[in-house]
Each structure stands twice: as C-alpha cells, then as structure tokens.
Structure 1
Amino acid sequence: MSNSYVLVINSGSSSLKFAVINSATGEAVLSGLGECFGLEDSRMSWKFNGDKREVAIQGDESHHKLAINTLVGLTEELALAQDIVAVGHRIVHGGEKFTQTVRIDEAVTQEIEQLADLAPLHNPAGAIGIRAALEAFPSLPQFAVFDTAFHQTMPKKAFTGAICNTLYSDYGIRRYGFHGTSHYYVSREAAHMLNKSIDDASFISVHLGNGASVCAIEKGRSVDTSMGFTPLSGLMMGTRCGDLDPGIIEFLLKKGWSQERVFDALNKKSGFLGVSGVTSDARGILEAMENGHEGAKLAFEVFTYRVAKYISSYLVPLTSLDAIIFTGGIGENSLPIRREILNNLKLLGFVEDEQGNEAARFGNAGVIARSEMLDAVAMVIPTNEEYVIVQQSMVLLNQ
C-alpha cells in the first residue's frame, strides 16, 4: 500500500512555510520555506532526505504564486505528487465563524478575507496562499485549520471584555486566543501519556516560544487562554509586551508618538528584547545572564514570574488538574526557564524531578515535576501543529 501525504501550507505576508507530511506517521518527508517575498533576495529553501537546496524566487507574478508553482514542480521531481491526497492550510483567525476545520471553497476563502480586520497581517496572506494553491493543485481537496478554533469553547465569562457591549456586537472585540492547534495537540498527547481519556482530563498548557500563551483545558476543551483579541496580550514574549495598561497607549499618543510607533514598540521592541536591551531570543538571554548582564537577568525574572502567575490563575477555571504541559521552542528546550517557573509554583506543591527535567529536552517528552497536593504533574511534550492540520484534514477527507 502506497503512502498518503498531506501538503501543509502556512502562508505569511512575505513568506510561505510548507511541509509534505505522512498522514499515518506525522513524519515530514519534505519541508521548506519561501521567504523575503517582494524583495530582491526572495528565495525558497527545502530539505528532503537530509539534502538541502535553495533557489531564487523571482518574476513579475505574486511571489506566493511563484513559490507554490515551484513547489508543484518539486513534488513531481521528488515523486511525491502522486501520493499527496490533500492540502491543509494554517489560517490564523477564524473569528466566531469558524469553530472547526472546514473544506475550502470560494465562500470560505471570501470569509477568511473578510476577517482581515481581526488579523490584518495574517488572514490576507493566508487567503493569497489558498488561492495560489487552488490554482496549482486544482484536483486536490483543500482544508483550512484555524488557530482560533480550539478556543471557541470558552464560556462567555472568559471571552467577554469588560467594555461597552456594542464594541463586541459592532466590531467583534472579545478574547479569541491563538496557538490553538498546539494546545489541542499537546493536551491529547498528555492524556495518552497519562493513560486518561481526553474527555476526563484537565490541563494547563504552556506554549513558550517567540510567541507565548497559556491555555486552561477542562475535559479536553479550551475554557480560557491568555492571548486575546490579538496575539499581543497575555504573556511577555520575544518582542511583544503581553498584558499592559491600555492607558500607556493614550499617554504615549499625547507625548506625540504616532500610532505606528506605539504599536511597533509594543509588538516588535518589547518583551525579552525590550527588557534586556540585548536580544529577543531566550538562548541569548540565558547566555547574557551567565556573563552578568543585569538587563538579561531582569528579562528572565519578569518572563518566568509572569508565566507562573498565569499558570496559577488558570487553576480558577478548572475543577481538577492532571498536568501542566510545557511546549514550544522555549518550553521544550530551556531547562533554566522551566526550573525557575517551577520554583515560582512551590506554593502549589510542585517539586522538580531534576533528572526528568534534564532529560525532557531536544525532542524528548517526559514528567519534570510532581505535586502531591494537587495530585498533578508538570511535563514536557514537543508540539506538532502541522500534524494536527494533517489529522483534521484527513478526517474531513474521509467523511
């Protein structure tokens, strides 16, 4: 029996990430990135069987379209095309319209475009990728998987802002949440590792990367999450500020700052980068700390303190807790950051398993701490958002 593959596409405003993934095993047999679209050095690189290649993407047409056309030729050259059964697209924002994965047609594509106000950098790019892929792969069924969909189970008390209700009714301003595919995946993996039914399991999922969020999961369903109307809120991140008094925005505008300068500062010059003054990368923060850099030390302390505060607060929406799950690039790999977060959770009874924490890195899952008081564990699970897109696409394909 031949393999069946799903082509996963994540289209950004000036980039296109892709992978051809075995639908049974989750293995990426081909993965790559098109980047710097619209610039002179626009290019596309990929890995296949350990080999790496790169080509320039140049031409008068849309670079997204040129990249996907290059991808078509690549799948044919590598003898993968005949086994690709579907295309799955990662779409950042589904608003309240899309609560689950959907098969793409013209109406769905237009709905995604109409949600651009909620994700102006992401949804238009996602729609561009969809239209290019529909043209390049006209015979393949294509599916949209939404970052926000998993969080559509939040109760009103969790997603409603304490603002004039017409701001919600007229503009859709509410908590939406992101990283949904990651929180969904690791919660299912955690239930499996703990030999529990996901319908009986409750977790606090902690996705820590350049973007970071926490999600409270009760009986397998998202009941609260730290990101809000946009991915700017919640935890401190690589360059994003996280939770902030909105009065600061008014203050800076009165000081003569432009709207663009304010939001550039909050989105691109805050977080690890802003507090440390050194870097947005957690590895660079830890290295600078070791060299005695006070700004890096403060950034480390602010980040770990805020993560621990969110974890503690997310006991409130849960009736029980089976595990705290660490995932994402930082959550999966940074031993010092996980250790400090656990130190901040000692009042909840968590005691680090030092050997377990050392071992659960670089692609390895495992238990890193236990709390007898809560009868819960802390664990690390590597995320696999692309495989969620594959799995959910295959479910709809087989219906």
Structure 2
Amino acid sequence: MTAVLVVNSGSSSFKYQLIEMDTEQILASGLIERIGESTGASSHTVYSPAVEAEAEAEADADSAGETSEAEFTRELPIPDHTAGFAIMLEAFAEHGPSLDEHPPVAVGHRVVHGGARFYEPTLVTKQVEKDIDELSELAPLHNPGALQGIKAAEEAFPDVPHVAIFDTAFHQTLPPEAFTYAINADLAERFRVRRYGFHGTSHRYVANAGAEFLGRPVGELNQIVVHLGNGASVTAVRGGESVETSMGMTPLEGLVMGTRSGDIDAGVLFHLHRKAGLGVEELDELLNKGSGMLGLAGRGDMRDVIEAAQAGDGPSQLALDVYLHRLKGYVGNYYAQLGRLDVISFTAGVGENNALVRERSLAGLEELGIRIDPARNEASSRSTRVISADDSRVTVLVVPTDEELEIARQTLSLVK
C-alpha cells in the first residue's frame, strides 16, 4: 500500500490528509488551528469503509464507496508548527490509522506562490526553501506559513521526500500576451510584475476529471474551468494547458469574490488616497478583506446574499447582479480566446452547490451553443455530472474539485 500525506499550511493553522494512493481513499484528515494563541485546537478524523450489508446487497451507485468516519478533537496550547505536527502524530498513534501500517512514502505541500520559477512538482531542498521564502514578497500572507509547515513536517518525517506543489505552476503555460501587463517593461522585470494566476491545482484537477468523465483525451478539449468559492477564478484550458486565467500577480484580480473586489480601475486607489486619505495598508485591507460581496451587500457568503436578494434587499440584489455580470463576461472572453469551446466546468463551494449562479451566469449564451437543462442543474449530487441540455453544443459540467488528491497524485508522480 502506498500512502501520501498532504499538508496545507498557513501562518496559524494547517490541514492534512493521509491518502492511500492505490485506491485514492482518504484514510484520515485533520486540522491544527490557532497556532501561537493561548489555546489551540486540533481535530483528527479517521475514515473506514462502510460495511453495511444492505448497501452491498442493493448495489446502490450512490451508496457505493461510502465511508464511515470518527472525529476526535482537543484543545491545548500549540506554540508553533513543530508542536502542531507532534500533536498530529499523537492523533495518528492514538486514533489511527497506524503510520507504521500506512507509512507515507512522501509528504506533499501546497505552496501558493512559485513565481515564474516553479512550474512542476518540486522536491524540497534547502535551496527550494530559500526560494519559497524569497517569493514571500509576492505572497506575504501565504508563503511564510507554507514554509513554516514544510520545516515542521521535515522534522516530523525526516526520512521521506517532501514535495512542493505550487498553485501558480499550472499557469506557467500562459503565453506572454496573456501574462504581460502593459506597464514599463524594465520596472515589470525588475519587480516581477506579471500575471501568475492561482487555484492552479484545482483548475488542473477539474480539467482532467472533466475529460475523464466524458471519456475524451484532455489534449483534444478546449475547456473553461470556473472555480467559485470565497475566492474565485476562471481559466481557459486548451489541450490540458492553461492559456488564460482571471487572477493576476495576486489573487485580487478578476472575478468579484467574497471579500475581494476583483477587477478595478487602478485610478480608484489614487482617488481614495488623495480624497479619502487612505494609505497603502488601508487600501490593501479594503480591496482584499472589505470589498466584493461583503463590501456591496454586507454579506460575504453567497448563500446569505441570495437569500437577502430574494427577500427584496436592494444592495444584495445589486451585489448578485455585479457578480454574475463579471462572471458572464469572463466566460465570453475566454470563449473568444479559445476560438472553439467544448466544455465548461463549475467547481468549488459556490460552483458545485449553487444552481442559481450556474444558471444565471450562462443565461443568454444560447447563441454560443451553451444551454443549461433546468432539471439537471437543480438536481443535487456530490458526483461529477452533466447539467447542459442534450442540444447544447457545449457540454456544461459540475465537477467537485479535490485539490488534496491532485497534490497527492503530483507528489507521487515525482517520487516514483
């Protein structure tokens, strides 16, 4: 049996999954949070195959492969990431599964920003750690935490390879005309100003999963992948490669998001600085944490915004309209960039679960061969499914993303 441990570290928390790669089954997952606070918290969930004879007898497709789970939680001081990994190891030892029986052959780490330097799964070395640290100026909220997690994981698992999987890597196939900003070229090169794109692990997984579901080679398909969560992005995928994406040098550009503004005239910042007296830090806070749906509607969660809009709340209705207007514009833009479109896939929390957003973001595009089937779109399912009508020239899918599995696959492909 071949297991991979996947770690996603932030500055004050980290998530983990232990995945058995022969079956791609999750054996355990957990969250260590509030690191550095007076009281931290840990949760550890163990998964085991369901053994209900009725499910086997009925051979219900929706029941097949179900697992049972047990969660164990603790509250205790967690001074740093190293202590967090020690607590994680204690949870495995006490509650299972046994790491002696399922020893990870590698640890895969999610790292948000790899700049233009990292374009594939990368074995962690001291030099790679220095590079991740140096790239923290492009992702100050994300790379430092990832590096802390890597170093702590190396102490906990010193005898296995550690692999960095970069969110930006999938977008390293962007052509120069797509990643270049029209500013002074010398300044851009000196300070590494260009589009990098994010959510790449999810976009790669969904593009491949959609092609597999349709039984077609990914290399033959032109796809638009729509990742809609609290953070949101759209990617045009030609033949399995990213050729255009909505997020830019940072995750701020592009779609309207839960708390981020998305696209905005840069002159607005100068105006707010001159007239409202806002400084750099205040503008950063405004655009990243106080804008988007939260700024427009006072609500950052799409479910709350829709509920309020349907109850007649004007600001929430406007926020929803702005969100959908921007999203539809990106779909149309990327359709034009690709020239031919085979598949649109919705994924992530909003994309997978919100039928209204899916329907309204594609409404009016029937002349482009995009037609949603209302009943299919409204049907609830946790599986990959078609939601387009039979006469839709473009197939529209809902594809649940699995970034941890994608990280595990890429990690295993490197160490093998």
Q: TM bucket by the smaller chain?
A: over 0.9
Aligned match of 1:283: 303
Equivalent residue for 1:350, pick from 364, 370, 389: 370
Is residue 348–residue 371 contact of structure 1 (8 Å, CA) maintained in 2?
A: no
Task: Supply the AA of the counterpart residue of 1:47.
Answer: T
Is residue 90–residue 389 contact of structure 1 (8 Å, CA) maintained in 2?
A: yes
Deviation string 1:254-306 (CA, Å, 9 cap, x unpaired) is 121121111111111111111112x1011111221232211111111111111
Aligned match of 1:52: 71
Equivalent residue for 2:285, pick from 247, 264, 288: 264
Q: What secondary structure is seen at the aligned counterpart in 2 of 1:85?
A: strand
Aligned match of 1:174: 194
Is residue 308–residue 344 contact of structure 1 (8 Å, CA) maintained in 2?
A: no
Distance in 2 between residues matched to 1:371 and 1:362, nearest whole Å? 19
Cα shift at 1:74: 2.0
Distance in 2 between residues matched to 1:29 and 1:233, nearest whole Å? 36
Aligned match of 1:104: 124
2:21 matches 1:23: yes
Task: Supply the AA of the counterpart residue of 1:42.
Answer: G
Aligned length, in residue pairs: 391
Task: Supply the AA of the counterpart residue of 1:48.
Answer: V
Is residue 327–residue 380 contact of structure 1 (8 Å, CA) maintained in 2?
A: yes
Task: Supply the AA of the counterpart residue of 1:201.
Answer: L
Equivalent residue for 1:385, pick from 403, 407, 412: 403
Is residue 32–residue 41 contact of structure 2 (8 Å, CA) maintained in 1?
A: yes
Aligned match of 2:180: 160
Equivalent residue for 1:240, pick from 257, 260, 271: 260
Aligned match of 2:386: 367
Root mean square deviation, CA, Å: 1.5
Is residue 44–residue 91 contact of structure 2 (8 Å, CA) maintained in 1?
A: no
Is residue 350–residue 371 contact of structure 1 (8 Å, CA) maintained in 2?
A: no
Cα shift at 1:158: 0.2
Cα shift at 1:56: 2.4
Task: Supply the AA of the counterpart residue of 1:135.
Answer: E
Task: Supply the AA of the counterpart residue of 1:380.
Answer: V
Is residue 101–residue 144 contact of structure 1 (8 Å, CA) maintained in 2?
A: yes
Q: What is the aligned-residue identity percentage?
A: 41
Cα shift at 1:362: 4.5
Aligned match of 2:12: 14
Q: What secondary structure is seen at the aligned counterpart in 1 of 2:140?
A: coil
Q: What secondary structure is seen at the aligned counterpart in 2 of 1:317?
A: helix
Segment drifting more, 347-356 vs 297-306: 347-356
Q: What secondary structure is seen at the aligned counterpart in 2 of 1:306?
A: helix
Equivalent residue for 1:376, pick from 382, 394, 411: 394
Gaps of 5+ in 1: none
Q: What secondary structure is seen at the aligned counterpart in 2 of 1:10?
A: strand
Aligned match of 2:88: 71
Distance in 2 between residues matched to 1:351 and 1:362, nearest whole Å? 20
Is residue 57–residue 67 contact of structure 1 (8 Å, CA) maintained in 2?
A: no
Equivalent residue for 2:164, pick from 144, 151, 158: 144
Is residue 19–residue 28 contact of structure 2 (8 Å, CA) maintained in 1?
A: yes
Task: Supply the AA of the counterpart residue of 1:386.
Answer: E
